[in-house]
Amino acid sequence: MTNVITEVALDELITENYKELIIEDAGMSERYLILSKVLAALRAITVANGYMTDVAYVSDVLELKHPEELDKNKFPACFASDGDETKESASIGSSDDNMLSVFIIEITSMVYDHYGETAEARSNLIRDVEKVIVTDTELRALLLERPSPIRVETDRGYFGKYSVFLQEFELQYLYNHAVGG
């Protein structure tokens, strides 16, 4: 059975079955809804929620040239962006207008340590980001499959007191291309 979502209330989708899901007329793009859920999931990374890290700052805008441009009280920080996407026709349900979309979410994270000992903080946050993206139920409700971690790229301590690293995740969803993706 395929669900068609037609209402959005305060960024929350109403659905009964998250395995096959087509978002048709939700008032905003599927990519934006999914990115919003990723940002919300990143904001939930706290020790109180069972993680190793308390993320202090989350955004979808990364305009820094160097990590020292970010206020120290905003570390650790995570910046999420929607990356490249591939699409193919998916005749699922009652419509030939259904499309399967596979796209990449890129999360750039930054940690800071006054003494430059960022390896442990970096490792903990890498683990926490992967855990929250793969297990967040609200994000998974929008996808066909569990998000798949596909890449981690670290700076290997290049920035001294700062560490910056990138994690990429593959996400799959269905949508009706007659209304756009």
Residue 19 lies in a domain: no
Residue 22 lies in a domain: no
Residue 15 lies in a domain: no
Strand partners, 151: 168
Read off φ and ψ for residue 118, nearest 5 degrees: -100, -5
Number of domains in the chain: 1
The pLDDT tens digits for 51-80 are: 999 999 999 998 888 888 899 999 999 999
Residue 140 lies in a domain: yes
Q: What is the pLDDT of residue 95?
A: 56
3-state helix, strand, coil in the chain (%, to 5): 25, 35, 40
Q: Kindly report the CATH number assigned to the domain that includes residue 132.
A: 3.30.70.1700
Residue 23 lies in a domain: no
Mean pLDDT to the nearest integer, 151-159? 83
Q: Which domain holds residue 51?
A: 29-86+99-173
Quick one: tokens of 126? Answer: 């890498």
Residue 11 lies in a domain: no
Q: Is the pLDDT of residue 125 over 60?
A: yes
Torsion of CA 152, 38, 144, 27, to 10 degrees: -140
Residue 163 lies in a domain: yes
Q: In Å, how far from its chain's centre is CA 132?
A: 9
Rounded to whole angstroms, the Cα distance separating 52 from 62 reads 24
Q: What is the pLDDT of residue 181?
A: 54
Name the nearest CA neighbour of 78 among 124, 119, 26.
Answer: 124
Residue 63 lies in a domain: yes
Strand partners, 59: 79
Residue 62: CB atoms within 10 Å: 15
